[in-house]
Structure 1
């Protein structure tokens, strides 16, 4: 059969040629020693270095994606092998290959106090590029959490204190049961601090030869923030969540710095950028903070809405 892609066609080399938005099954680590198959959106490219050839063999890239990604658990070694197969399939038409995978990472999460469990899902994007000097990989993810405003908490405490002083103006000590009854009434909660659902977008470039563990990274970030959103919630879990918010008051600046400290201590991360957005309940606009490691990160890809 004729192959017009192999016809001579004078022109310059092309940086990238390939396909975007390929839908395919992907086998990923689900934590606790298990794996899951999820549907992923894949972009696959090679460069075109031959100036005497019209195009690449795209169907070969598609076939390799279809055969490999659903059969083996996603990891650094598997991605490097697949990208090398991209190059081998093109018969010296290319010397660089690139792959971007976008998928939702499900993780089974236990409730804060009850014995129940539920699923949380984290959007992920992994990009890998193979060239003559090795494999470059980056990871993008998004963590959703609750943030309670420290200033609003301080103002609320002041109001509660003033209401208590007005309710019990006498210098005589208030009986313990009377004070507890007042604090446990609606009058005892005269003001509440404002809190909001908040989002952290993280882009991290992995060090050469470093293995990636998306769940480990998300776990560390959620632990540092202290108030990740929950799946199943009973009353005791909701109370524990309120307690966690009270113990983790934070501005967007605080959240960005907490994540920054985590990424600075991750040995497998060469560079990173962080964007946190507190979706204010007080204002119609949001509070936003950025953080970065500072190594060539002005040129790093960044998407305001996350992966």
Structure 2
């Protein structure tokens, strides 16, 4: 029995002329792999639409995404999918888009002990293809700890004042001072720290295929020196306190550290960064922004 011929009302002419920059679908679930780990990816897929055309073929975009299923995400695979978007919309579209979002999981060792745990890093890979080729931008969020230099200086000043009050003799007994430093009476003030975030948009260099996620994350975390931890013992917590004390930073300091790390990175040819320190003193956030070789799309 022959199937009835069904009409396609989307294939006609537009009732009003007007070029559309992007038409497609968002929040498509696609199982992929990244950094060797399975990932429940969320995909936005779209194409531009010429002025005279009424609509696109959304099912063609959806079916083209099958090429990514259970595969390691590489730029060459994304490029092939984008080209299929364009080939399936010949005479309708001249630009194709694919955004892939998720959390990449990386196992992180503790600072000193043999413990380790998994840490999630949110990301979005944003790709665009037109007559000039494919552009790839990688958005990432990296969390870290930041200790305020101002509060550290104020805490040290209070400790000095307490020392002057408790030790008035010219000759100071070493054991007495050691005991005093280990007491709550001695360390009566501490600097305030906050969980902070670096929101990065990275323009990847031409010729890359495998996404250098872990290398980029390592570069930023090493520059900051205070990466968030997973499983720890007390010796690791102590080492984390030491790392914070040796890396006092305002949001401006963190932005400059990241700026220098990314400008020297072989896989990055441009970036913009938004640094957020979620203040523990104030109800508002401290924010710094920086960019290099960045032209808004």
**Superposition deviation, residue 134 in structure 1:** 0.7
1:16 equivalent in alignment to 2:14? no
The alpha-carbon distance between structure 1 residues 108 and 171, as it changes in their structure 2 partners (threshold 3 A), is same
The residue that corresponds to 2:62 in the other structure is 62
The alpha-carbon distance between structure 1 residues 118 and 100, as it changes in their structure 2 partners (threshold 3 A), is same
The alpha-carbon distance between structure 1 residues 142 and 9, as it changes in their structure 2 partners (threshold 3 A), is closer
Judge conservation of contact 2:195–2:277 (CA < 8 Å) in 1: yes
Equivalent runs, 1:179-198 vs 2, <5 Å:
179-198=177-196
Equivalent runs, 1:1-12 vs 2, <5 Å:
1-2=5-6, 3-9=8-14, 11-12=17-18
1:177 equivalent in alignment to 2:175? yes
Three-state SS of the structure 1 residue aligned to 2:185 is helix
State the alpha-carbon separation in 1 of the partners of residues 225 and 147 from structure 2. Answer: 11
**Superposition deviation, residue 12 in structure 1:** 4.1
State the alpha-carbon separation in 1 of the partners of residues 155 and 14 from structure 2. Answer: 73
Judge conservation of contact 1:145–1:197 (CA < 8 Å) in 2: yes
Runs of 4+ in structure 1 off by over 4 angstroms are: none
Structure 2 unaligned segments of length 5 or more: list them.
none
Equivalent runs, 1:279-294 vs 2, <5 Å:
279-294=278-293
1:36 equivalent in alignment to 2:9? no
State the alpha-carbon separation in 1 of the partners of residues 281 and 157 from structure 2. Answer: 18
Judge conservation of contact 1:183–1:189 (CA < 8 Å) in 2: yes
Judge conservation of contact 1:202–1:274 (CA < 8 Å) in 2: yes
The residue that corresponds to 2:199 in the other structure is 201
The residue that corresponds to 2:50 in the other structure is 49
State the alpha-carbon separation in 2 of the partners of residues 39 and 21 from structure 1. Answer: 11
Equivalent runs, 1:1-307 vs 2, <5 Å:
1-2=5-6, 3-9=8-14, 11-29=17-35, 35-49=36-50, 51=52, 53-65=53-65, 67-172=66-171, 174-211=172-209, 212-296=211-295, 299=296
State the alpha-carbon separation in 2 of the partners of residues 160 and 188 from structure 1. Answer: 7
**Superposition deviation, residue 50 in structure 1:** 7.2
**Superposition deviation, residue 70 in structure 1:** 2.0
Number of residue pairs aligned between Structure 1 and Structure 2: 290
State the alpha-carbon separation in 2 of the partners of residues 17 and 96 from structure 1. Answer: 10
State the alpha-carbon separation in 2 of the partners of residues 281 and 12 from structure 1. Answer: 50
State the alpha-carbon separation in 1 of the partners of residues 44 and 218 from structure 2. Answer: 27
State the alpha-carbon separation in 2 of the partners of residues 156 and 7 from structure 1. Answer: 72
Give per-residue Cα distances to partners, 1:230-264, cap 9 Å, x unaligned.
11121111111101001100011100100111111
Structure 1 unaligned segments of length 5 or more: list them.
30-34, 301-307
Give per-residue Cα distances to partners, 1:259-281, cap 9 Å, x unaligned.
11111112332221111111111
**Structure 1 residues 20-29 or 132-141, which shifts more?**
20-29
- TM-score normalized with structure 2 length: 0.92
The alpha-carbon distance between structure 1 residues 285 and 50, as it changes in their structure 2 partners (threshold 3 A), is closer
**Structure 1 residues 251-260 or 4-13, which shifts more?**
4-13
State the alpha-carbon separation in 1 of the partners of residues 281 and 122 from structure 2. Answer: 27
Judge conservation of contact 2:32–2:40 (CA < 8 Å) in 1: yes
State the alpha-carbon separation in 2 of the partners of residues 178 and 70 from structure 1. Answer: 67
- TM-score normalized with structure 1 length: 0.89
